[in-house]
């Protein structure tokens, strides 16, 4: 329950950004996204440099943060950077799907894994990873129905997203999940259309 506000922020914030990327014209969305990300990164770096600013930041946002984020960049910072990169490098539909994978898959994996995850590998529950894959496939299928992202691409992206969530590399998964899943979907799309 302690992580519930953070997980809700993850889901609704992430989905809002993915949907905005689909609906708002690119010439408006991308500059706004880049500007907001730069402003947020400046805030993050400022709070990490100045303890007084950090204390205020933590007082305001502590329900949305993990303990380690008191002295490091937040998951939102990594998510914002990933959003900029995938919307620049990928088709906007693929970028939206990749962001949806991290917005939905990661918190679902955590919730299911905490509740029912007995068998663990690398600190991750297998049932949580299965829930991540299933939620990515469902969310991706919904987006596939309203965008030009084909279902086979969704499957490739969902598998990559689940793998990144499971591996828990040293790099924050809010960055790796959208970059790897979006990159894989884009590469497969380019390979098939060439």
d(CA 194, CA 20): 29
Write down the domain spans for the chain.
4-193
> For the chain, which ranges sit under pLDDT 50?
none
pLDDT at residue 174 in the model? 94
CB 86 within 8 A of CB 50: no
Both tokens assigned to 48: 């990490």
CB 26 within 8 A of CB 92: yes
pLDDT in tens, 32-44: 999 999 999 999 9
pLDDT at residue 67 in the model? 87
Q: Cα 156–33–135 angle (5° rounding)?
A: 30
> Does residue 43 sit in helix, strand or coil?
helix
pLDDT at residue 194 in the model? 65
Question: How distant, in Å, are the alpha carbons of 27, 40, 96, 109 from that of 65?
Answer: 32, 15, 24, 18
pLDDT at residue 2 in the model? 66
pLDDT at residue 94 in the model? 98
d(CA 184, CA 194): 15
């Amino acid at each position: 329950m302690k992580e519930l506000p953070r997980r809700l922020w993850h889901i609704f914030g992430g989905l809002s950004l993915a949907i905005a990327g689909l609906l708002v014209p690119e010439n408006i969305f991308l500059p706004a996204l880049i500007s907001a990300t730069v402003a947020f990164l400046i805030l993050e770096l400022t709070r990490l440099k100045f303890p007084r600013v950090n204390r205020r930041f933590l007082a305001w946002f502590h329900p949305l943060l993990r303990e380690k984020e008191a002295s490091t960049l937040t998951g939102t910072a990594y998510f914002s950077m990933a959003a900029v990169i995938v919307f620049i490098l990928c088709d906007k539909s693929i970028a939206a799907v990749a962001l949806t994978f991290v917005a939905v898959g990661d918190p679902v994996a955590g919730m299911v894994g905490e509740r029912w995850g007995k068998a663990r590998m690398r600190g991750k529950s297998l049932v949580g990873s299965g829930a991540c894959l299933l939620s990515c496939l469902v969310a991706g299928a919904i987006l596939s129905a309203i965008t030009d992202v084909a279902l086979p691409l969704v499957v490739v992206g969902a598998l990559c997203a689940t793998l990144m969530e499971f591996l828990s590399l040293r790099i924050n998964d809010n960055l790796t999940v959208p970059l790897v899943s979006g990159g894989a979907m884009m590469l497969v799309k380019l390979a098939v259309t060439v």
